[in-house]
Protein backbone atom coordinates (compact mmCIF):
# COMPACT_ATOMS: atom_id res chain seq x y z
CA UNK A 1 0.00 0.00 0.00
CA UNK A 2 1.47 3.39 -0.99
CA UNK A 3 2.19 6.22 1.45
CA UNK A 4 -0.60 8.32 -0.02
CA UNK A 5 -3.10 5.41 0.22
CA UNK A 6 -2.23 4.88 3.86
CA UNK A 7 -2.61 8.63 4.48
CA UNK A 8 -6.00 8.74 2.81
CA UNK A 9 -7.16 5.62 4.68
CA UNK A 10 -6.11 7.19 7.94
CA UNK A 11 -7.87 10.43 7.04
CA UNK A 12 -11.08 8.57 6.22
CA UNK A 13 -11.08 6.72 9.57
CA UNK A 14 -10.49 9.93 11.53
CA UNK A 15 -13.10 11.78 9.49
CA UNK A 16 -15.74 9.09 10.18
CA UNK A 17 -14.96 9.18 13.91
CA UNK A 18 -15.10 12.98 14.01
CA UNK A 19 -18.46 13.02 12.21
CA UNK A 20 -19.96 10.43 14.58
CA UNK A 21 -18.76 12.32 17.65
CA UNK A 22 -19.52 15.87 16.61
CA UNK A 23 -22.55 15.45 14.40
CA UNK A 24 -21.00 17.94 11.98
CA UNK A 25 -22.30 16.16 8.87
CA UNK A 26 -24.05 13.02 7.74
CA UNK A 27 -22.11 10.24 5.98
CA UNK A 28 -24.13 10.61 2.78
CA UNK A 29 -23.81 14.40 2.73
CA UNK A 30 -22.66 15.87 -0.59
CA UNK A 31 -20.27 18.82 -0.41
CA UNK A 32 -21.75 21.95 -2.03
CA UNK A 33 -19.85 23.23 -5.03
CA UNK A 34 -20.74 26.91 -4.59
CA UNK A 35 -21.18 29.57 -1.92
CA UNK A 36 -23.92 28.73 0.61
CA UNK A 37 -27.37 29.97 -0.38
CA UNK A 38 -27.72 33.42 1.15
CA UNK A 39 -31.50 33.14 1.83
CA UNK A 40 -31.07 29.86 3.71
CA UNK A 41 -28.02 31.11 5.63
CA UNK A 42 -29.77 34.36 6.57
CA UNK A 43 -32.80 32.46 7.89
CA UNK A 44 -30.59 30.38 10.17
CA UNK A 45 -28.06 33.11 10.87
CA UNK A 46 -24.74 33.65 9.07
CA UNK A 47 -22.57 30.61 8.35
CA UNK A 48 -19.55 30.73 10.72
CA UNK A 49 -16.11 30.50 9.12
CA UNK A 50 -13.37 30.16 11.73
CA UNK A 51 -9.77 31.01 10.78
CA UNK A 52 -6.69 30.35 12.91
CA UNK A 53 -3.33 31.97 12.16
CA UNK A 54 0.04 32.76 13.72
CA UNK A 55 0.78 35.93 11.76
CA UNK A 56 2.55 38.91 13.36
CA UNK A 57 0.22 41.64 14.63
CA UNK A 58 0.44 43.89 11.56
CA UNK A 59 -0.23 41.03 9.13
CA UNK A 60 -3.03 39.82 11.38
CA UNK A 61 -4.62 43.27 11.14
CA UNK A 62 -4.42 43.09 7.35
CA UNK A 63 -6.08 39.67 7.42
CA UNK A 64 -8.89 41.09 9.55
CA UNK A 65 -9.44 43.97 7.12
CA UNK A 66 -9.55 41.51 4.22
CA UNK A 67 -12.07 39.38 6.13
CA UNK A 68 -14.21 42.45 6.84
CA UNK A 69 -14.30 43.28 3.13
CA UNK A 70 -15.23 39.70 2.34
CA UNK A 71 -18.15 39.80 4.78
CA UNK A 72 -19.40 43.05 3.24
CA UNK A 73 -19.98 41.24 -0.04
CA UNK A 74 -20.88 37.89 1.61
CA UNK A 75 -23.13 38.79 4.58
CA UNK A 76 -24.34 35.20 4.78
CA UNK A 77 -20.88 34.23 6.10
CA UNK A 78 -19.52 35.31 9.50
CA UNK A 79 -15.71 35.17 9.57
CA UNK A 80 -14.15 34.65 13.00
CA UNK A 81 -10.36 35.12 13.18
CA UNK A 82 -8.27 33.79 16.04
CA UNK A 83 -4.57 34.65 16.45
CA UNK A 84 -2.19 32.09 18.02
CA UNK A 85 1.41 31.96 19.12
CA UNK A 86 3.08 30.77 15.88
CA UNK A 87 5.28 28.32 17.79
CA UNK A 88 2.21 26.64 19.33
CA UNK A 89 -0.26 26.93 16.44
CA UNK A 90 0.41 23.58 14.77
CA UNK A 91 0.14 21.56 17.98
CA UNK A 92 -2.95 23.51 19.04
CA UNK A 93 -4.58 22.75 15.71
CA UNK A 94 -3.72 19.05 15.92
CA UNK A 95 -5.14 18.74 19.42
CA UNK A 96 -8.31 20.62 18.52
CA UNK A 97 -9.04 18.58 15.39
CA UNK A 98 -8.46 15.26 17.18
CA UNK A 99 -11.03 16.34 19.77
CA UNK A 100 -13.57 17.13 17.04
CA UNK A 101 -13.15 20.91 17.19
CA UNK A 102 -10.75 23.49 15.76
CA UNK A 103 -11.05 26.06 12.97
CA UNK A 104 -12.35 25.68 9.44
CA UNK A 105 -9.23 27.29 7.96
CA UNK A 106 -5.63 27.09 9.14
CA UNK A 107 -3.12 29.60 7.75
CA UNK A 108 0.53 28.59 7.93
CA UNK A 109 3.65 27.60 6.02
CA UNK A 110 3.42 25.00 3.26
CA UNK A 111 5.94 22.87 5.17
CA UNK A 112 3.08 21.84 7.49
CA UNK A 113 1.11 20.18 4.70
CA UNK A 114 2.90 16.82 4.58
CA UNK A 115 2.67 16.41 8.36
CA UNK A 116 -1.05 17.24 8.43
CA UNK A 117 -1.83 14.94 5.51
CA UNK A 118 0.10 12.13 7.18
CA UNK A 119 -1.93 12.63 10.36
CA UNK A 120 -5.19 12.79 8.38
CA UNK A 121 -6.05 16.21 9.83
CA UNK A 122 -6.90 18.21 6.70
CA UNK A 123 -9.10 17.96 3.65
CA UNK A 124 -7.75 18.20 0.10
CA UNK A 125 -8.58 21.29 -1.91
CA UNK A 126 -12.00 20.94 -3.55
CA UNK A 127 -12.03 20.30 -7.33
CA UNK A 128 -13.64 23.71 -7.87
CA UNK A 129 -10.98 25.53 -5.86
CA UNK A 130 -8.21 23.49 -7.51
CA UNK A 131 -9.51 24.68 -10.87
CA UNK A 132 -9.46 28.27 -9.62
CA UNK A 133 -5.85 27.81 -8.56
CA UNK A 134 -4.92 26.40 -11.98
CA UNK A 135 -6.70 29.26 -13.75
CA UNK A 136 -5.29 32.02 -11.51
CA UNK A 137 -1.80 31.10 -10.34
CA UNK A 138 1.47 30.39 -12.17
CA UNK A 139 1.84 26.63 -12.62
CA UNK A 140 4.62 26.06 -10.03
CA UNK A 141 2.51 27.89 -7.44
CA UNK A 142 -0.75 26.13 -8.32
CA UNK A 143 0.95 22.72 -8.28
CA UNK A 144 3.25 23.38 -5.33
CA UNK A 145 1.04 21.88 -2.63
CA UNK A 146 0.22 18.58 -4.29
CA UNK A 147 0.83 15.17 -2.77
CA UNK A 148 0.38 12.25 -5.17
CA UNK A 149 -1.34 14.62 -7.60
CA UNK A 150 -3.86 15.98 -5.07
CA UNK A 151 -3.58 19.62 -3.87
CA UNK A 152 -3.95 20.02 -0.11
CA UNK A 153 -3.53 23.78 0.36
CA UNK A 154 -3.97 27.10 -1.41
CA UNK A 155 -0.90 29.40 -1.58
CA UNK A 156 -1.74 33.06 -0.97
CA UNK A 157 1.72 34.52 -0.32
CA UNK A 158 5.22 33.59 -1.48
CA UNK A 159 8.91 34.40 -0.88
CA UNK A 160 11.71 34.06 -3.45
CA UNK A 161 14.96 35.58 -4.72
CA UNK A 162 14.77 39.04 -6.32
CA UNK A 163 17.32 41.14 -8.22
CA UNK A 164 16.92 44.76 -7.10
CA UNK A 165 18.34 47.59 -9.19
CA UNK A 166 19.17 51.21 -8.43
CA UNK A 167 18.10 52.68 -11.77
CA UNK A 168 20.28 55.77 -11.22
CA UNK A 169 23.40 53.60 -11.25
CA UNK A 170 22.35 50.75 -13.55
CA UNK A 171 20.54 51.59 -16.79
CA UNK A 172 20.55 48.04 -18.18
CA UNK A 173 20.47 45.21 -15.63
CA UNK A 174 22.15 41.93 -16.62
CA UNK A 175 20.02 39.74 -18.88
CA UNK A 176 22.10 36.56 -18.52
CA UNK A 177 24.18 35.26 -15.64
CA UNK A 178 27.48 35.73 -17.49
CA UNK A 179 26.90 39.50 -17.39
CA UNK A 180 26.81 39.56 -13.59
CA UNK A 181 30.60 39.76 -13.25
CA UNK A 182 30.85 42.87 -15.42
CA UNK A 183 27.86 44.55 -13.76
CA UNK A 184 29.25 43.84 -10.28
CA UNK A 185 32.66 45.24 -11.16
CA UNK A 186 31.20 48.40 -12.64
CA UNK A 187 28.40 49.20 -10.18
CA UNK A 188 28.68 46.80 -7.25
CA UNK A 189 26.51 43.83 -6.30
CA UNK A 190 25.35 42.86 -2.81
CA UNK A 191 24.31 39.26 -2.20
CA UNK A 192 22.47 38.07 0.90
CA UNK A 193 24.04 34.77 2.05
CA UNK A 194 20.93 32.57 2.19
CA UNK A 195 20.01 29.47 0.22
CA UNK A 196 16.70 30.95 -0.93
CA UNK A 197 18.53 33.89 -2.50
CA UNK A 198 21.20 31.89 -4.36
CA UNK A 199 19.12 28.76 -4.99
CA UNK A 200 19.01 29.52 -8.73
CA UNK A 201 22.60 28.36 -8.98
CA UNK A 202 21.38 24.96 -7.81
CA UNK A 203 17.90 24.46 -9.27
CA UNK A 204 18.41 26.01 -12.69
CA UNK A 205 20.80 23.19 -13.57
CA UNK A 206 17.95 20.73 -12.98
CA UNK A 207 19.28 19.46 -9.65
CA UNK A 208 16.82 18.49 -6.90
CA UNK A 209 17.11 18.18 -3.14
CA UNK A 210 14.14 15.99 -2.26
CA UNK A 211 11.57 13.86 -4.00
CA UNK A 212 7.81 14.38 -3.70
CA UNK A 213 7.62 11.96 -0.76
CA UNK A 214 10.39 13.75 1.14
CA UNK A 215 13.30 11.42 0.39
CA UNK A 216 16.62 13.24 -0.24
CA UNK A 217 17.86 12.74 -3.79
CA UNK A 218 20.68 15.29 -4.08
CA UNK A 219 23.99 14.02 -5.45
CA UNK A 220 27.47 14.83 -4.21
CA UNK A 221 28.31 16.21 -7.65
CA UNK A 222 25.31 18.58 -7.79
CA UNK A 223 25.94 19.90 -4.29
CA UNK A 224 29.67 20.40 -4.90
CA UNK A 225 29.00 22.14 -8.21
CA UNK A 226 26.55 24.49 -6.49
CA UNK A 227 29.00 25.35 -3.73
CA UNK A 228 31.76 25.96 -6.28
CA UNK A 229 29.47 28.44 -8.07
CA UNK A 230 28.95 30.23 -4.75
CA UNK A 231 32.69 30.40 -4.18
CA UNK A 232 33.21 31.88 -7.64
CA UNK A 233 30.44 34.45 -7.16
CA UNK A 234 31.77 35.60 -3.79
CA UNK A 235 35.25 36.05 -5.31
CA UNK A 236 34.14 38.35 -8.14
CA UNK A 237 35.38 41.97 -7.99
CA UNK A 238 32.58 44.25 -6.83
CA UNK A 239 30.57 41.50 -5.12
CA UNK A 240 29.88 41.94 -1.41
CA UNK A 241 28.24 39.10 0.52
CA UNK A 242 26.39 40.64 3.45
CA UNK A 243 23.09 41.00 5.29
CA UNK A 244 23.76 44.74 5.70
CA UNK A 245 21.99 46.46 2.79
CA UNK A 246 23.10 50.00 3.69
CA UNK A 247 25.42 50.48 0.72
CA UNK A 248 22.53 49.67 -1.61
CA UNK A 249 19.97 51.86 0.14
CA UNK A 250 22.47 54.74 0.21
CA UNK A 251 23.16 54.49 -3.51
CA UNK A 252 26.70 53.12 -3.28
CA UNK A 253 25.91 49.76 -4.97
CA UNK A 254 23.75 49.37 -8.04
CA UNK A 255 22.55 45.77 -7.67
CA UNK A 256 21.23 43.64 -4.84
CA UNK A 257 20.29 39.96 -4.84
CA UNK A 258 18.03 39.37 -1.84
CA UNK A 259 14.63 38.10 -0.70
CA UNK A 260 11.39 39.42 -2.17
CA UNK A 261 10.46 40.31 1.42
CA UNK A 262 12.96 43.19 1.30
CA UNK A 263 10.97 45.12 -1.31
CA UNK A 264 8.99 47.39 1.01
CA UNK A 265 11.99 48.59 3.03
CA UNK A 266 14.06 49.14 -0.12
CA UNK A 267 11.22 51.06 -1.76
CA UNK A 268 10.95 53.28 1.30
CA UNK A 269 14.69 54.01 1.13
CA UNK A 270 15.10 54.54 -2.64
CA UNK A 271 11.64 55.51 -3.86
CA UNK A 272 11.36 55.72 -7.64
CA UNK A 273 15.07 54.94 -7.99
CA UNK A 274 14.32 51.31 -7.08
CA UNK A 275 13.39 48.82 -9.77
CA UNK A 276 13.18 45.03 -9.91
CA UNK A 277 14.77 43.15 -12.80
CA UNK A 278 13.86 39.75 -14.15
CA UNK A 279 16.37 37.28 -12.73
CA UNK A 280 19.10 36.84 -15.37
CA UNK A 281 18.92 33.68 -17.42
CA UNK A 282 21.37 30.90 -16.65
CA UNK A 283 21.44 29.39 -20.16
CA UNK A 284 19.84 27.33 -21.43
CA UNK A 285 17.09 27.99 -18.85
CA UNK A 286 15.47 30.88 -17.03
CA UNK A 287 16.50 31.27 -13.38
CA UNK A 288 14.64 28.69 -11.24
CA UNK A 289 14.62 30.04 -7.71
CA UNK A 290 13.18 28.42 -4.59
CA UNK A 291 9.57 29.38 -3.77
CA UNK A 292 8.32 29.28 -0.19
CA UNK A 293 4.56 29.60 0.37
CA UNK A 294 2.17 30.68 3.07
CA UNK A 295 -0.99 28.67 2.54
CA UNK A 296 -4.66 28.29 3.40
CA UNK A 297 -5.56 24.80 4.66
CA UNK A 298 -9.04 23.26 5.05
CA UNK A 299 -9.69 21.52 8.36
CA UNK A 300 -10.82 17.91 8.47
CA UNK A 301 -13.68 18.91 10.78
CA UNK A 302 -15.21 21.57 8.50
CA UNK A 303 -18.84 20.92 7.66
CA UNK A 304 -19.96 20.92 4.05
CA UNK A 305 -21.34 24.44 4.56
CA UNK A 306 -18.07 25.69 6.04
CA UNK A 307 -16.13 24.05 3.21
CA UNK A 308 -18.25 25.94 0.69
CA UNK A 309 -17.67 29.17 2.63
CA UNK A 310 -13.95 28.43 2.60
CA UNK A 311 -14.06 28.16 -1.18
CA UNK A 312 -15.68 31.57 -1.42
CA UNK A 313 -13.12 33.12 0.96
CA UNK A 314 -10.20 31.44 -0.83
CA UNK A 315 -11.33 32.76 -4.21
CA UNK A 316 -11.70 36.21 -2.65
CA UNK A 317 -8.20 36.23 -1.16
CA UNK A 318 -6.73 35.11 -4.52
CA UNK A 319 -8.44 37.91 -6.45
CA UNK A 320 -6.06 40.53 -7.91
CA UNK A 321 -7.53 43.33 -5.78
CA UNK A 322 -7.12 41.49 -2.48
CA UNK A 323 -3.70 40.11 -3.43
CA UNK A 324 -2.69 43.71 -4.17
CA UNK A 325 -3.90 44.80 -0.73
CA UNK A 326 -1.99 41.93 0.90
CA UNK A 327 1.23 43.03 -0.81
CA UNK A 328 0.80 46.76 -0.19
CA UNK A 329 0.05 46.32 3.51
CA UNK A 330 2.41 43.46 4.42
CA UNK A 331 5.23 43.70 1.88
CA UNK A 332 4.97 39.96 1.18
CA UNK A 333 4.74 38.99 -2.49
CA UNK A 334 1.32 37.74 -3.58
CA UNK A 335 0.83 34.27 -4.99
CA UNK A 336 -1.20 35.86 -7.79
CA UNK A 337 1.12 38.43 -9.44
CA UNK A 338 -1.85 39.97 -11.28
CA UNK A 339 -2.46 41.85 -8.03
CA UNK A 340 0.70 43.96 -8.48
CA UNK A 341 -0.07 47.46 -9.74
CA UNK A 342 3.51 48.22 -10.88
CA UNK A 343 3.83 46.76 -14.39
CA UNK A 344 7.59 46.20 -14.31
CA UNK A 345 7.41 44.55 -10.90
CA UNK A 346 4.51 42.40 -12.05
CA UNK A 347 6.44 41.28 -15.13
CA UNK A 348 9.64 40.45 -13.22
CA UNK A 349 7.92 38.55 -10.42
CA UNK A 350 5.54 36.76 -12.79
CA UNK A 351 8.53 35.36 -14.66
CA UNK A 352 10.15 34.33 -11.38
CA UNK A 353 7.02 32.46 -10.26
CA UNK A 354 6.54 30.79 -13.64
CA UNK A 355 10.04 29.29 -13.44
CA UNK A 356 10.23 28.77 -9.68
CA UNK A 357 10.76 25.53 -7.76
CA UNK A 358 8.36 25.05 -4.81
CA UNK A 359 10.09 24.19 -1.57
CA UNK A 360 9.57 20.53 -0.61
CA UNK A 361 6.47 20.05 1.53
CA UNK A 362 8.44 17.88 3.93
CA UNK A 363 8.86 19.47 7.35
CA UNK A 364 12.43 18.13 7.32
CA UNK A 365 13.30 20.63 4.62
CA UNK A 366 12.23 23.53 6.81
CA UNK A 367 13.67 22.25 10.10
CA UNK A 368 16.87 20.49 8.98
CA UNK A 369 17.80 20.75 5.33
CA UNK A 370 17.33 24.42 4.54
CA UNK A 371 19.10 25.56 7.75
CA UNK A 372 22.02 23.29 6.81
CA UNK A 373 22.09 24.80 3.32
CA UNK A 374 22.01 28.29 4.80
CA UNK A 375 25.00 27.40 6.98
CA UNK A 376 26.85 26.03 3.96
CA UNK A 377 26.17 29.20 1.94
CA UNK A 378 27.48 31.30 4.82
CA UNK A 379 30.53 29.07 5.24
CA UNK A 380 31.47 29.18 1.54
CA UNK A 381 30.65 32.80 0.71
CA UNK A 382 31.63 34.53 3.96
CA UNK A 383 33.89 32.27 5.99
CA UNK A 384 35.96 30.86 3.12
CA UNK A 385 35.29 27.22 3.95
CA UNK A 386 36.33 24.48 1.55
CA UNK A 387 33.84 23.25 -1.03
CA UNK A 388 34.57 19.55 -0.53
CA UNK A 389 34.17 19.70 3.23
CA UNK A 390 30.86 21.54 3.03
CA UNK A 391 29.57 19.22 0.30
CA UNK A 392 30.41 16.24 2.51
CA UNK A 393 28.59 17.86 5.46
CA UNK A 394 25.45 18.47 3.41
CA UNK A 395 25.38 14.96 1.98
CA UNK A 396 25.88 13.43 5.42
CA UNK A 397 22.98 15.49 6.74
CA UNK A 398 20.74 14.58 3.80
CA UNK A 399 21.44 10.88 4.11
CA UNK A 400 20.86 11.04 7.84
CA UNK A 401 17.43 12.63 7.36
CA UNK A 402 16.06 9.90 5.09
CA UNK A 403 12.73 8.40 6.23
Alpha-carbon distance of 10 to 16, in angstroms, equals: 10
Alpha-carbon distance of 372 to 365, in angstroms, equals: 9
What is the enclosing helix (H) or strand (E) of 166? strand 161-166
Q: What is the DSSP letter of 242?
A: -
pLDDT of res. 155? 98
DSSP string covering 77-123: EEEEEEE--HHHHHHHHHHHHHTT---SEEEEEGGGHHHHHHHT-EE
pTM: 0.87
Alpha-carbon distance of 221 to 211, in angstroms, equals: 17
Length of the chain: 403
Percent of the chain with pLDDT over 90: 81
pLDDT of res. 398? 86
Low pLDDT (below 50) residues in the chain: 1-42, 401-403
What is the enclosing helix (H) or strand (E) of 252? none
φ, ψ for residue 306, nearest 5 deg: -70, -35
pLDDT of res. 136? 96
Instruction: Decide: 164 and 254 in contact? Cβ < 8 Å.
Output: no
Instruction: Decide: 280 and 180 in contact? Cβ < 8 Å.
Output: yes
Pairing verdict, β 47-53 and 77-83: parallel
pLDDT of res. 212? 64
pLDDT of res. 314? 97
Alpha-carbon distance of 55 to 64, in angstroms, equals: 11
Amino acid sequence: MSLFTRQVSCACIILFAALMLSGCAQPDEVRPTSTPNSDSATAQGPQPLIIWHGLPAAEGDTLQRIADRFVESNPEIAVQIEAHDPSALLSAYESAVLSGAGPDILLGPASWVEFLVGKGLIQPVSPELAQTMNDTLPAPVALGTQIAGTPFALPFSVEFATLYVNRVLVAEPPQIWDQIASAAQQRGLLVTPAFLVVSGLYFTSGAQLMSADGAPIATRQSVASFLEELHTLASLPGVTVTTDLTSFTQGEAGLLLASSNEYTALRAALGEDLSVATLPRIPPKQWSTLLEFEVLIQSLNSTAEATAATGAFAEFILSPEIQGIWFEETGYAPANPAGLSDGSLRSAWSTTLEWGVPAPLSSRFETEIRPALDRAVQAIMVDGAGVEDEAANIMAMLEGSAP
